[in-house]
Chain A
Amino acid sequence: MTLAATAAHLATGPATGAAAGPHGFLSPTGVEIAFLLVGLVTFGAALVTVTTRQLVHAALWLVVTLGGLAVEYLLLTAEFIAWVQVLIYVGSVVVLLLFGLMLTRAPIGRSPDADSGNRWAALTVAVAAAAALVWVVVDAFRTTWIDLDGPAAGSTEATGASLFQNWVLPFEALSVLLLAALVGAIVLSRKAKADTATPAGQDTGRDTEGAR
């Protein structure tokens, strides 16, 4: 990490900040190369996630995507975010999703109808959106340079100091939101009363609660 940062610094020379520097795309730094490679893996994993016909595989490829993103955070010197990413996403969200897949009796193996009939429209929209976004972003930030030298911008210390100095109130409010979500999830997934006839074999609500 430090090596890469130093290499980047060496490569970029004295120019810093947002000013248009002499950093060319044809002479990438080591961090950039690493970022690019991890980014390619992440993007590929994401593509597989949204296209695979095996539902459980989709969840597993999602793990790869999210892990790749965590690495990207690390490369951007945001270490705290990276660990949170690993903890919450890879650790809990994906597990929850896998539970969900199992509880809804998702088929194991290739399911021929994983994609709906809306696929071509979705592809058109997505490609168009991607083209527009990439065009705009590249057009706007092609000369912008991030200086990754110096103390890490997202170290635990920096993040903690900012969070508990400037963002205490939203942070506390967030806890309330999480509580509300917890209660909501319980209420929603609770087994319906006996008079609303539950289809046989569908009484999985208690398990869901247990998972929660």
Chain B
Amino acid sequence: MHLAYPAVLSALLFCTGLYGVLARRNAILVLMSVELMLNAVNLNLVAFDVWLSRTAEETLHSGQALTLFTIAIAAAEIGIGLAIVLAVHRNRGTADIDKLRDTSERHDPDGTDHDARTAEQSDEAQKAEATA
């Protein structure tokens, strides 16, 4: 079998997952997309491991071992991720990612206006001083 088939499939799945991560609004759907990306990587690992295990004389089957590890880690990740999503949902009442914008640069009209006003005032005071 051509190695290109699993490799291309893996790449396409990976980018599909990428699109899902970037485009989905619901956090759980984002997690699903992450799973897609992980699986694409797994497919890649397995395909290359099979190829290499035939070519090389000695092999550690590292691709398959890593795949197993990835699967386990993905399971752990999904557990933690879901717990986080649930905690967020409980606190905020929503699991929509684009509504969680606490890190945004807040528009603080008071601060800038205040600065500008004091600057103007000091300017005026200095002008008054100059004319006096």
- Residues on A lying within 8 angstroms of B by beta carbon are 8, 16-18, 23, 25, 29, 31-32, 35-36, 39, 42-43, 46-47, 49-50, 55, 58-59, 62, 65-66, 69, 72-73, 75-78, 80-81, 84-85, 88-89, 92-93, 96-97, 99-101, 103-104, 106, 113-119, 121-123, 125-127, 129-130, 133-134, 137-138, 141-142, 144-148, 150, 153-154, 158-159, 162-163, 166-167, 170-171, 174, 177-178, 180-182, 184-186, 188-189, 192, 198-199, 202-205, 208, 212
Contacts and interface: CB of A to CB of B under 8 A. Distances in A.
B54 A25 contact: no
B8 A147 contact: no
B85 to A, nearest CB: 6
Contacts, number: 302
A114 B76 contact: no
Interface residues of B, number: 77
Interface of B: 1-9, 11-29, 31-33, 35-36, 39, 42-43, 46-47, 49-51, 53-55, 59-62, 64-65, 67-69, 71-80, 82-87, 89-91, 93, 95-98
B16 to A, nearest CB: 5
Nearest to B95: A104
Given A97-B31, A188-B80, A17 B3 contact: no
Grouping DSSP codes into helix (H, G, I), strand (E, B) and loop, the A interface class, with mixed when no group exceeds half, is helix
12 contacts: A32-B5, A35-B6, A39-B9, A50-B17, A55-B26, A62-B35, A62-B36, A96-B82, A106-B28, A144-B3, A174-B73, A181-B79
Contacts of B11: 130, 133-134, 137
Given A93-B75, A121-B22, A81 B83 contact: no
B129 to A, nearest CB: 53
Contacts of A77: 50
B24 A116 contact: yes
A23 B2 contact: yes
Given A43-B13, A62-B32, A182-B79, A146 B68 contact: no
A162 B20 CA distance: 35
Contacts of A66: 35, 39
